[in-house]
Amino acid sequence: MCLQVKLGGGPDVVEVLSGWKPDAAETRGAGQHATDDPMVQQMNIIRGYIRQAQDARRWDEVGMLEQNLRELQQEYWDHDHDQLQS
């Protein structure tokens, strides 16, 4: 899908290409049988999105998703570590 936008009345046309998004149906249920922890489920979903982005050669999205996964993993570890100390 491509959207063309005319700017200012001049002859210039800017094309805005539709963005990529992962198929949620492919990741539905990923890892849910292994755990009820929503953070673990979310990390598994993101892993599925990373695989889809790699298959689609969407390297910017891969990087962003990997960063998001690292942040979730760090948050999960911090949360788990805090509970152990309590």
Which CATH number characterizes residue 34's domain? 4.10.860
What is the structure's pLDDT at 35?
A: 73
What is the structure's pLDDT at 46?
A: 96
Is residue 2 one of the residues assigned to a domain? no
- How far apart are alpha carbons 22 and 28 in whole angstroms? 11
Is residue 67 one of the residues assigned to a domain? yes
- pTM as predicted: 0.64
Q: What is the DSSP-derived secondary structure letter of residue 23?
A: -
Low-confidence ranges of the chain (pLDDT < 50): 1-2, 4-6, 14, 16, 31
71: domain range? 22-85
CA angle (11 as vertex; 8, 13 as ends), nearest 5: 80
Q: Which residue, chain included where needed, has tokens 């910017």?
A: 60
Check: CB of residue 13 under 8 Å from CB of residue 4.
yes
What is the structure's pLDDT at 23?
A: 81
What is the structure's pLDDT at 63?
A: 96
